[in-house]
A = this chain, B = another copy of it.
Amino acid sequence: MPDSGDSSSRPSRPRVVIVGCGFAGMQAARALRKADADITVVDRRNHHLFQPLLYQVATAGLSPADIASPIRRIFRGQRNVRVLLDEVTGIDTGARTVHLDHDRLDYDYLVLAAGATHSYFGHDDWQAVAPGLKTIDDATEIRRRILLAFERAEHEDSEPARRTELTFVVVGGGPTGVELAGAIKEIAAQTIPRDFRAIDTRTTRVVLIEGGDRLLGSFDPSLSARAKRDLEKLGIEVILNTYVTDLKPGIVTMDEDTIRAGNVFWAAGVQASPLAEALGVELDDLGRVPVEPDLSVPGFPEIFVVGDMAAAKQRNGSGDLVPGVAQGALQGGEHVGRIIARELNGTPRSDRPPFRYKDKGSMATIGRARAVAEIGRFKFGGFFAWVLWGLIHVMFLVEFRNRVLVMLQWVWNWFAFSRGARLITGGREPTDSPAPPRALKEQPEPAE
């Protein structure tokens, strides 16, 4: 490229390394757009993912590329950023060096924004039975499982086995669990009934299990109740105050009760990326880094942790932590990017402002035309909340292209009662076929 060596030829410019390009990392890099610095954004994936809509990929409503943007494309015009597809293997906080799988980066400022991963509360073997939803590959795997369940049921002659295939359990009643359960029921009840001949997909059983005493625990209790009522109206069974105690293929165990379910999805717990351990500081019980008010790591003012990896106290007197949502990550990234930009311009470290999280509201969809929303003092649900949810999510998508494609497909899916991305991909390779088909003429069967 014309300006290759942009970063390497001027070693005197301050070096900022940002690990992870989710909402937090992306926003930190953007806030540094005018900084006279060499910024390196490292991610082990080549795309920024709009996670709030990931459940729509998992339920065949959208294509992966509709909610993902190449990180290079995002920063193509920001010439102080270079992007590396790589994975962190270690951090040397003394030498101020990040070790990557294929490289090594010195830094003056380090921003860690690697997000969160599923937590199975010590039962890692449950992952194979009940996949979670964090990446594009997770989403296409869940999509594969949902669509295959109906295909297997159509084949199945035994009624109990068919019932098992047509039973879906979603573990965890947060926004992801609520949205996933609603979308699965919508597919079964509205999208595909006419596509099958042997089964009635409208009899599909969807069970949502939550350990706490209400759904959407971070929302106002009135909305939790409304969400439960709306889900139950759709025919979804909501079980509260109940923990899953064992998961085996086909069987979900909760204390004494069991459910025979061919399909289980995990939306129950998250923990911080294991990258947090590389700092060598004490972590909280979810593996997050307890950060200072400015979001820096105690003892390392040049290292910041933002987004789901950080345990940051809200400064509203409640003592609550900043929630692990897109807004928290965006605002944290912006805050840290601005601090670094100011200090690169000469502002002393002692002038760092604390991070103040501004709650702009929460929303979750419930099936085809319902949602609950909480914006400031306003708490409401129903069709209007759903439209608002759609508009806000489209607005926050990263590329104009994606906004158009998502809008178009939503309108289409809505009017056609359709889901456009009903593809079963991945899984067993066709070439794994045990043996080529055989001519069976010689077989002792009665010829007509």
Chain A residues near B (Cβ < 8 Å): 1-7, 44-47, 63-66, 68, 70, 72-73, 76-77, 82-97, 99, 102-103, 135-137, 140, 147-148, 151, 154-155, 192-201, 274-275, 277-280, 401-402, 404-405, 408-409, 412, 416, 418, 420-426, 429-430, 433, 435-441, 443, 445-448
Contact = CB atoms under 8 A, between A and B. Distances in A.
A92 to B, nearest CB: 4
Contacts of A280: 439, 441
A441 B76 contact: no
A407 to B, nearest CB: 11
Contact of A401 (B90, B197, B404, B418): B418
Nearest to A203: B1
B199 A4 contact: yes
Contact of A426 (B137, B195, B436): B137
A17 to B, nearest CB: 13
Given A72-B192, A92-B443, A135-B430, 5 more contacts: A91-B438, A102-B155, A274-B437, A278-B438, A401-B409
Given A1-B199, A147-B46, A151-B85, A422 B73 contact: yes
A401 B416 contact: yes
A420 B3 contact: no
Contacts of A402: 420
A437 B275 contact: yes
12 contacts: A6-B197, A46-B151, A46-B422, A46-B423, A73-B418, A76-B194, A86-B155, A89-B437, A93-B440, A94-B441, A135-B430, A405-B408
A409 to B, nearest CB: 7
Nearest to A436: B274
A78 B66 CA distance: 31
Contact of A63 (B64, B155, B424): B64
A125 to B, nearest CB: 13
This chain: copies in complex: 2
A44 B441 contact: no
A206 B409 CA distance: 36
B439 A277 contact: yes
Nearest to A155: B102
A37 to B, nearest CB: 14
B84 A277 contact: no
A82 B198 contact: yes
A280 B5 CA distance: 64
A429 B147 contact: no
Give the residue among A1, A275, A441 with the most B Cβ atoms within 10 A: A1
A239 to B, nearest CB: 28
Given A6-B197, A73-B422, A155 B47 contact: no
Contacts of A84: 154-155
B440 A90 contact: yes
Give the residue among A72, A99, A197, A199 with the most B Cβ atoms within 10 A: A197
A90 B437 CA distance: 5
